[in-house]
Amino acid sequence: MKIVFVLFAFVLPVVATAQTPPAPAPTSVPSPAATALPSSTPPANPQPSPSATALPSPTPLPTPLVLPPEAPPQILAISMNQHIYHSGDVFYAKVITSTNVPAVELRVIGKVVRFTRLDFGIWELNYKLPHIPRRFLRDYAAQIVAMNTVNVFVTRDITLSLR
């Protein structure tokens, strides 16, 4: 019984291909939706989608904390796209603060870069790094500073690694 099944499995594809007539040449260009036929069997070597090979999905950021203007500011979360940066990379950071914060800054070696406010308590920074000479490739201590309208500051220390 086993031998018959194996022979039948090899004979069936040969018979099926011998009886199918050749397909006529298409006369018009079909739409991409019409050419995509559903397949019952997955491809032999499936390629992962680009989003599947990206970094693992980060945890969701908290919602901004609503505080009165005179309350001390708070930095609730900091999210950066990488930990190590190279010449030409884009430094992307998102900071979630309390809603009484009118400005957030990144301070590195005397340079100050302001974040853009997306909404109350949600700040974003996109900064393309210039060419970095070899002698400056190292770790740098940086601070993210949030301030309120009565000159109360709160800082968080981060490390920027340039390689």
Which pLDDT value is given to residue 38? 46
Q: Are 65 and 121 spatial neighbours (Cβ–Cβ below 8 Å)?
A: yes
What 3-state DSSP class applies to 16?
Answer: helix
| pLDDT value of residue 20 | 45
pLDDT of residue 58: 62
Whether the predicted model's global pTM rises above the 0.85 cut = no
Q: Among the CATH numbers 1.10.8.60, 3.40.710.10, 2.60.40.1930, 1.10.3720.10, which is that of 74-162?
A: 2.60.40.1930
Calculated CA dihedral for residues 118, 120, 121, 125, nearest 10 degrees: 20
